[in-house]
């Protein structure tokens, strides 16, 4: 019986050693897989950060261009209004009677239009 017991113990010990070996290899493989996943995640995070920084820079650039265009449009409108005002002032100074007649005609036409529109509402 001693021989059977020795054989049984040897089989059990061999099975335990093989199981331990498989567990160690599995643990090593899992660690390597986690390291690889971690490396890939870090690389993906770096690429995402880079892309976000690039997009933020482009957005700022577009915002600057938009602000510049709005400023240019404001300046152009300001100059245009100033030129129109200057031209009107010059015309009024050169042609005061015509200016009064034109203003009276525009006022009368506006009043007539308003009276006509009010009549339709009733």
- pLDDT of 1: 62
Q: Which residue has the tokens 């400023």?
A: 71
Q: What is the pLDDT of residues 29-81, one digit of tens each?
A: 899 999 899 999 999 999 999 999 999 999 999 999 999 999 999 999 999 99
Half-sphere exposure (CA, 13 Å, Cβ side) for 22?
6
C-alpha 104, offset from chain centre: 53
| Rounded distance between C-alpha atoms, residue 77 and residue 75, angstroms | 5
The pTM of this model reads: 0.48
């Amino acid at each position: 019986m001693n021989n059977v017991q020795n054989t049984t113990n040897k089989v059990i010990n061999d099975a335990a050693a093989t199981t331990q070996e498989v567990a160690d290899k599995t643990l090593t493989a899992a660690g390597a897989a986690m390291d690889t996943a971690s490396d890939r995640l870090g690389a993906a995070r770096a690429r995402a950060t880079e892309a976000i920084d690039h997009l933020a820079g482009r957005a700022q650039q577009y915002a600057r261009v938009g602000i510049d265009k709005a400023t240019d449009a404001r300046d152009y409108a300001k100059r245009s209004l100033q030129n129109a005002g200057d031209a009107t002032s010059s015309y009024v100074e050169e042609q005061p009677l015509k200016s009064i007649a034109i203003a009276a005609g525009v006022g009368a036409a506006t009043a007539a239009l308003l009276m006509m529109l009010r009549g339709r509402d009733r």
